[in-house]
Chains A and B, each alone.
Chain A
Amino acid sequence: MDSAARSFLKIENLVKKFGDFTALQDISLDVYDGEFVCFLGPSGCGKTTLLRAIAGLDIQTHGRIEQDGKDISALPPAERDFGIVFQSYALFPNLTVERNVAYGLENRKLPRAEIDVRVAELLQLVGLPDQGTKYPAQLSGGQQQRVALARAMATSPGLLLLDEPLSALDARVRVHLRTEIKDLQRRLGVTTIMVTHDQEEALTMADRIVVMNHGVIDQVGTPQEIYGSPATSFVADFIGSMNFIPGTVAAKGRVTVGDFPLDCDTTGFNEGDAITVSIRPEDINAQDMEHDDNVVDGEITHLQFMGSFYRAELGGAAFSGHDVQADFSVNLVRRKNVVLGSKLPIRLPADHIQLYPPVED
């Protein structure tokens, strides 16, 4: 994100308590103008609570929210400027699609003709130009969610809030609608916050992802940053697959896992520290062995066919009893005749190894 970009939504030290339970602990975050931000995390991590605080639906216990330079911390939803789409669509069942979309416009006392034009325009925008006279129950889930989107955008709000908008839909519709929502957002340039527990959704749609866990933000970054260099072992584990192997820092630039030494960047840790060594299965290499660093012999203990690749589990003395998962291409498995019990050398490239403090569990 361009550092000169204007901060449109400024969240400072937000705390939300429900009785003794703290749902949000000191959240601070800037959302920039026109940006698509995803709040990503497991259920109960506080992402929806944060969204509802931004909307004013459940106002925070402490902290400040500023939108477009205006302090909105204590304002009721009706005095804020946002459109919202819920997982349940929340379309008014007894009103037609047109009346649903027009609902916000009718409250602005616009002339009827103007409203009609705007509604037609919005329905065109979400690809439902002929469905205006139908009732929500007559539409498919995906269509209903588009109507909800049109209704939220009707009054041209400065901020669009999406609360798990795709979670209630079929897998195929979901993938299709992802692209559509993203396109629409880009075309309209509206600052958007989407809450999701689906990492794929976040990775494909977001400009920046805010990963949350237990009411705190673990990491904020672009999808590439979040995936490539996860800031905590939680982020590493939650997004994509990750091997975690306990080890010790042997020296600067070197760790040991069991008796086996691995080269990697040890910045931030001291000699003798207990650490968790992590590497993604797809980063483990069994092909080009021209580099001979971090090469270890493994034995295939499980082999799962995943369609486009194989996920192998490798055991061996080197990992001191910890199995390591590695993804092998179909091609490689065929060429090297990898079967259960095969022994083969694998390489753990140093630049793909991440170190975290030991995982307590």
Chain B
Amino acid sequence: MADASLTAQTSDRAIVRPKLSRDDWIMRTVMVAIGVFLLIAVLLPLYTMMSKSVENKDGGFVGFANFAEYFSTPALFNSAFNSLSISILATLIILVVTFIYGYALTRTCMPFKWFFKLVAMVPLLTPSLLGGISLIYWFGNQGVLKDLLFGEKIYGPIGITMGSSYWVFPHALMIVITALSITDARLYEAAEALRTSKLKTFLTVTIPGCKYGLISAGFVVFTLVFTDFGVPKVIGGNYNMLATDIYKQVIGQQNFQMGAVVSVVLLVPAIIAFSVDRIVQRKQVALLSARAVPYTPKPSRGRDMSMLAFCSVIALIIIAMIGMAQYAALVTFWPYNLEFSLNNYDFDVMDGGGWEAFWNSIEMALYTAFFGTIIVFTGAYLMEKGRGFTVGRSAFHMVAMAPLAVPGMVLGLAYIFFFNNPANPFNFIYGTMGILVVATVVHFYTVSHLTAVTALKQMDPEFESVSASLKAPFYKTFAKVTVPVCMPAVFDISIYLFLNAMTTVSAVVFLYSSDTTLASVAVLNMDDAGDVAPAAAMAMMIAYTCAAMRIVQVVLTRGIAIKTQAWRNQ
């Protein structure tokens, strides 16, 4: 028995200060270094941008004068309203469509599911600009189906809503599919045993089960559309949105202060949507039970066939979008000479950067994938598996979550303010490939980080304890066990970074120099200059590169699976 007389002494006894091992020192130092990198690359630029928004052109502090000007200028203020209404509209459309599409893929016996899954992911391979370009060919002034709009113009809210819905579709679908996949078959068996009607089962089991997934998908779609630059730039016409306003203020009028103000106006709803989404997602986790029995749908001819019809229409739209871009790229001179030629691929004779832009993009995407994956995975590992230092580790997680809340346009502009300042010791990366890589890694950091964390959480937490007891330094276990076991996630992260680096416009549009033009920016600039067909051709080059990379990923993952993951399926 514990001696009672000793209990009284415990409160004033010395607290044991754990001695840090060499491993602890290395782990903490590297994690702090990555954390500091994120601070410098996210928070400091944002801070600089926010201070610019309360300064006048000469750098003097003017309080909220710029904001007052902004809100009293209807031309500017209207875009906030436009952005909001378009985003809400697109969110509603996409939620309905993705729910039905996702339901068909997960809960029915619809044939050709593999095909519909594949087609749904196509927009991920293309810059958001491509949707806009395609719409011009379908519904524009010389469009094939122009008459379907009954005199309305595609340039404006209609086009933006359609184009946005196209490219955010796979983003929303992935979340909805995940939400619909995590269900417990026993709930449905119970409902059936209680003779519940199909409709009531749907309303009381299906909808509540994926409620949080739908809400989350809603926020993701809202944020993507709200902050997107590519679609409104190409097809917005005179209809102003916040993201295009930033571009116009900065590139068109060189009014950096107003650009900063618009950025803040864009940033606030994005942060709110982000925060609400985080709270909602935390609830989703609590719904899961480890003992759930997976649901297997039973055939039902009427339902399966109507789902097939619906999905076919959606798939047809997606194919029509990308198909038209490809067709337009190959046609010699739309709509007068419909003969096929490769004239539009002769990028070197157009403005926008030429073929060099394409090679630059590939270079940039490879750097982003390579360095980004190393930084993200190492950071997530150190955060997840470090011993003690809970304050530092939770701080790191918060910093790693921050980039998701920052729209690309805002990040790009913040980088101009921060890195273009000659007094900044990091000024040397301005105008180089380096700043493009840093901006892209940071822009897509959070999703990669979460992918890594999810993979790492599935590893036995005692691996590190065991290796410590065996006196193995952490980096050996990291290299010999953690990385090989997490190889599929590592590939996922690098491919995610690569695809986004190839297709992104928003952050890099402010940061490229004449030596570092990028393919996605070339699409934008060629479209701006009226070379719409070459823009479509370049967008298709990006799409093919991304598709090729996906194929490489599948082959590599299979190969690696056979070689290093022999333990998995035996």
Tell me the A residues contacting B by CB distance below 8 Å: 13, 15, 25-28, 55-57, 59-63, 73-80, 82-84, 86, 88, 90, 92-95, 103-104, 106-108, 135-138, 151-152, 154-155, 157, 216-219, 231
Closest CB-CB distance, B393 to chain A, in whole Å? Answer: 15
The closest CB in chain B to the CB of A80 belongs to B469
| A76-B20, A218-B1 as given contacts; A137 in contact with B567, CB under 8 Å | yes
Which residues of B are at the interface with A, using a C-beta cutoff of 8 A? 1-3, 6-7, 9-10, 13-24, 387, 460, 462-463, 465-473, 476-477, 480-481, 484-485, 564-568, 570
CA–CA, A63 to B15, complex, Å?
8
Using Cβ atoms and an 8 Å threshold, which residues of chain B touch A13? 6, 9-10, 13
Whole-angstrom CA separation of A155 from B466 in the bound complex: 12
Residues of A within 8 A of B16 (CB): 59-63, 73-74
The answer, among B2, B15, B469, for a CB contact under 8 Å with A55, is B469
Q: Are A94 and B2 in contact (CB under 8 A)?
A: no
Q: Is the CB of B466 within 8 A of A86?
A: yes
Q: Contact at A79–B19, with CB atoms within 8 Å?
A: yes
A-B contact pairs, 17 of them (CB 8 A): A25-B2, A26-B2, A27-B2, A55-B465, A57-B387, A63-B13, A73-B16, A77-B465, A77-B469, A83-B470, A90-B460, A95-B480, A107-B470, A138-B570, A216-B2, A217-B2, A218-B1
Residue in chain A with minimal CB distance to B483:
A94
In whole Å, how far is A93's beta carbon from the nearest beta carbon of chain B? 5
In the bound assembly, the distance between CA atoms of A24 and B104 in angstroms comes to 54
CB < 8 Å: which of B3, B460, B485, B570 contacts A28? B3
A144 to B6, CA, bound (A): 43
In the complex, given contacts A95-B481, A103-B472, A152-B469, what are 4 additional A-B residue pairs having Cβ atoms less than 8 angstroms apart?
A57-B387, A76-B20, A79-B19, A92-B481
- Closest A residue to B565 using CB positions: A94
What is the CA–CA distance of A84 and B19 in the complex, to the nearest angstrom?
Answer: 20
A165 to B: closest C-beta gap in Å: 12
6 closest Cβ contacts across the A-B interface? A104-B470, A76-B21, A135-B567, A77-B468, A90-B462, A59-B18
Chain B residues within 8 Å of A217, by CB? 1-2
CA distance A25 to B10 in the complex (A): 9
Q: How far is the CB of A18 from chain B (nearest CB, A)?
A: 11
Q: Cβ of B21: which chain A residues have Cβ within 8 Å of it?
A: 76-79
Which residues of A are found within 8 Å of B24, using beta-carbon distances?
76
Closest to A155 in B: B470
Known: A25-B7, A75-B19. A94 touches B471 (CB 8 A): no
Contact assessment for B466 and A107 in the assembled complex, using a CB-CB cutoff below 8 Å: no
CB distance from A195 to the nearest CB of B (A): 13
Identify the interface centre among B22, B463, B476: most chain A CB within 10 Å of its CB: B463
Query: Taking CB as reference atom, which chain B residue is nearest A79?
Result: B21
User: Given A77-B465, A90-B466, A137–B570 Cβ distance below 8 Å?
Assistant: yes
A108 touches B15 (CB 8 A): no
Q: Which residues of A contact B480 (CB under 8 A)?
A: 92, 95
Given contacts A74-B17, A90-B465, A152-B469, contact A107 B476 (CB under 8 A): yes
Taken together as a complex, chains A and B put the C-alpha atoms of A217 and B2 apart, in Å, by 7
Residues of A within 8 A of B471 (CB): 78, 104, 107-108, 155
Partner of B15, one of A61, A82, A86, A152: A61
Residue of A nearest to B23 (CB): A78
Which residue of chain A is the closest to B481 with respect to CB atoms?
A92
A152 to chain B, nearest CB (A): 7
The answer to whether A107 touches B567, judged by C-beta atoms less than 8 angstroms apart, is: no
Tell me if A231 and B10 are in contact (CB < 8 A): no
Tell me which of A13, A60, A73, A231 has the highest count of chain B C-beta atoms within 10 A of its own C-beta: A13
Assuming the contacts A93-B567, A103-B467, A104-B470, asked whether A88 and B462 have C-beta atoms less than 8 A apart, the reply is yes
Residue of A whose beta carbon sits closest to that of B9: A13
B residues in contact with A60, CB < 8 Å: 16
**How far is B20's CA from A138's CA once the two chains are assembled, in angstroms?**
37
In whole angstroms, what is the CA distance A151 to B7 when docked? 39
The residue in B1, B14, B471 that gathers the most chain A C-beta atoms within 10 A of its C-beta is B471
**Chain A neighbourhood of B481, CB < 8 A:** 92, 94-95
Chain B residue numbers with a CB within 8 Å of A157 are 469
Chain A residues contacting B18 (CB-CB under 8 Å) are 56, 59, 74, 76
Q: Tell which of A26, A59, A88, A108 touches B6, judged by Cβ atoms closer than 8 Å.
A: A26
Cα–Cα distance between A231 and B2 once the two chains are bound (Å): 13
Chain A residues contacting B484 (CB-CB under 8 Å) are 94
User: A25 CA to B6 CA in the complex, in Å?
Assistant: 10
Instruction: Tell me the bound Cα distance from A61 to B10 in angstroms.
Output: 10
Q: A298 to chain B: closest CB distance in Å?
A: 35
CB distance from A290 to the nearest CB of B (A): 39
- Contacting pair B472 A107 (CB below 8 A): yes
Cα–Cα distance between A236 and B79 once the two chains are bound (Å): 75
Contact assessment for B470 and A103 in the assembled complex, using a CB-CB cutoff below 8 Å: yes
Residues of A within 8 A of B3 (CB): 26, 28
A107 to B387, CA, bound (A): 21
Interface centre among B23, B387, B465, B565 (most CB of A within 10 A): B465
Which of A57, A61, A75, A103 is the most central at the interface, judged by chain B CB atoms within 10 Å of its CB? A103
Query: When the two chains form their complex, are residues B7 and A26 in contact, meaning their CB atoms are under 8 A apart?
Result: yes
Contacts of B23 in A (CB 8 A): 76, 78
Closest beta carbon of chain B to A307's beta carbon, Å? 30
Give the residue of A76, A90, A155, A216 whose beta carbon is less than 8 angstroms from that of B463. A90
B485 touching A93, Cβ below 8 Å: yes
CB-CB under 8 A from B568, the residues of chain A are 93, 137
Chain A: CB-nearest residue to B567:
A135
Measured CA separation A137–B569 after assembly (Å) = 8
A65 nearest CB neighbor, chain B only:
B16
With A94-B485, A94-B565, A219-B1 in contact, do A104 and B472 touch (Cβ < 8 Å)?
yes
